[in-house]
Structure 1
């Protein structure tokens, strides 16, 4: 398994395979397919690896907060408040409960995430 970093295929640093979970709901453009590998779950905490292929879609964080650390890919995430985050390896983003916005993925993106319920 490998990931693409800055257009170069390199060995997957986690050495795992992800499972496709299907087309992304709320798609605006393209056909983004998401895949996931859950690493750890305890009580309500979820930690894993998530990947999305190119396309655009909306998302809302309702009842959860999420910490994301991107390890590959490119694109932008635009919050409904106008804040724009450029996706690139090493970028960290926190989306608090109530956050909403639009993802524009230009190169398959992979992130490590931690999701915590807020209610």
Structure 2
């Protein structure tokens, strides 16, 4: 047992003294487009009202696919949402109403910043064309 404790202690000591050099070129613009914008409609099984046209411009994406950034926008409409990821949002323009499963509503407008936690279920209604920056992290690996 003592040798195991010594080995663990030695590993911790080495780990504390280890300096990893990260080149400044690896620091990237979180919103620099990493692909062309894609437009799509809300799937019929989620759509509640309207015919919202959504546009997604991808920014940074981690190699494992669990962390991503981008710009999202949508024309008016309402649909069901179910978040598996945590998502930070900053509304650049427009007005939307997010409603939880119990009917509690939160109106978000230009300048609002907020986080949607993983597991949130409810609806997202775009009242006035909405454009947002998002940063998302999903604890589950991407398929």
Q: Are residues 1:105 and 2:126 paired?
A: yes
Q: Which residue of 1 aligns with 2:40?
A: 22
CA distance in 1, matches of 2:113, 2:139: 20
Q: Are residues 1:36 and 2:56 paired?
A: yes
Which fold has the larger relative contact order, with Cα–Cα distance below 8 Å and residues 6 or more apart in sequence?
1
RMSD: 2.2
Q: Are residues 1:49 and 2:71 paired?
A: yes
Gaps of 5+ in 2: 1-30
Gaps of 5+ in 1: 1-13
Q: Which residue of 2 aligns with 1:69?
A: 90
Q: Are residues 1:83 and 2:104 paired?
A: yes
Aligned length: 105
Which has more radius of gyration? 2
Using structure 1 for the length normalisation, give the TM-score.
0.78
Query: SS state of the match for residue 103, structure 2?
Result: coil
Q: Which has the higher strand share?
A: 1
